[in-house]
Amino acid sequence: MWKTILRRVLVMIPQIIILSILIFFLAKMMPGDPFTGLIDPKMDVNTIAKLKQEYGLNDAPWVQYLNWVKNLFRGDLGMSYTQHMSVTSLIGDRAQNTFWLSLVTIILSYLFAIPMGIIAGRYKDKWPDQTIRIFNYITFAIPGFVAYVLALWLFGYLLNWFPTTGTVSVSVAPGIFNYILDRAHHIILPALVAALISTTTTVQYLRTGIIDNQVEDYVRTARSKGVPERVVFNKHILRNSLLPITAFIGNVIGALLGGAVMIETVFSYPGMGKLFMESISQRDYPVLTALILMFGILAIVGNLISDIVMTIVDPRIRVK
Partner 1 sequence: MLFNKANKQNIKTEAGEPISLPPSGFKLVLKELLKDKFAIFSILVLVLILLFTFLGSAFVSKESLDTNILDGLMPAFSSGHFLGTDEGGKDILSLLIVGGRNSIVIGISVTAISIILGLVIGLISGYFGGVVDDIFMRIIDFIMVLPRFMIIIILTTIISNYNAFTLILLISLFSWTSSARYFRSFVLAQREREYVMASKASGSSNVAIMFREVLPNISSMIIIDVVLGIAGNIGIETGLSFLGYGLPASTPSLGTLIGYANDPVNIMSRPWVWLPAVVMLLIISYMINYVGTVFQRAADARQRR
Do the beta carbons of residue 162 and residue 155 sit within 8 Å?
A: yes
- The answer to the question of residue 62 lying near partner 1 (CB under 8 A) is no
Choose, by CB under 8 A, the member of 149, 168, 312, 313 that binds partner 1: 149
Choose, by CB under 8 A, the member of 101, 193, 203, 288 that binds partner 1: 288
State how far the Cα of 182 lies from the Cα of 163, in Å rounded to an integer.
9
Choose, by CB under 8 A, the member of 152, 191, 193, 253 that binds partner 1: 152
How far apart are CB 225 and partner 1 at their closest, in Å? 32
Choose, by CB under 8 A, the member of 101, 263, 290, 291 that binds partner 1: 291
How far apart are CB 28 and partner 1 at their closest, in Å? 10
Q: Which stretch binds partner 1 (CB under 8 A): 35-43, 71-79, 90-98, 285-293?
A: 285-293
- The answer to the question of residue 280 lying near partner 1 (CB under 8 A) is yes
Of the candidates 50, 36, 20, 22, the residue with the CA atom closest to the CA atom of residue 79:
36
Question: Could you give the string, one character per residue 84-123, with x where binding to partner 1 holds by CB under 8 A and - elsewhere?
Answer: ----------------------------------------
Q: Which stretch binds partner 1 (CB under 8 A): 35-43, 63-71, 211-219, 252-260?
A: 252-260
Closest to partner 1 by CB, 18 or 173:
18
| C-alpha distance across the termini of the chain, in Å | 11
Rg of the chain's alpha carbons, rounded to an integer?
25
- The answer to the question of residue 137 lying near partner 1 (CB under 8 A) is yes
| CB proximity list for 294: less than 8 A, separation 6 or greater | 91, 95, 272
State how far the Cα of 249 lies from the Cα of 302, in Å rounded to an integer.
8
Residues 155-184 that bind partner 1 (CB under 8 A): 157, 164
285-313 vs 87-122: helix axis angle to the nearest 10?
40
CA neighbours within 13 Å on the CB side: how many for 285? 15
DSSP per residue, 141-198: HS-HHHHHHHHIIIIIIIS--S-SSSSS-TTPPSSHHHHHHHHHHHHHHHHHHHHHTT
State how far the Cα of 305 lies from the Cα of 320, in Å rounded to an integer.
18
Total residues in contact with partner 1, by rule CB under 8 A: 43
Closest to partner 1 by CB, 28 or 235:
28
Of the candidates 109, 105, 135, the residue with the CA atom closest to the CA atom of residue 120:
135
How far apart are CB 270 and partner 1 at their closest, in Å? 15
Summarize as ranges the residues that interact with partner 1 (CB under 8 A): 15, 18-19, 22, 26, 29-31, 137-138, 140-146, 149-150, 152-153, 157, 164, 254, 257-258, 261-262, 265-266, 276-277, 280-281, 283, 288, 291-292, 295-296, 299-300, 303
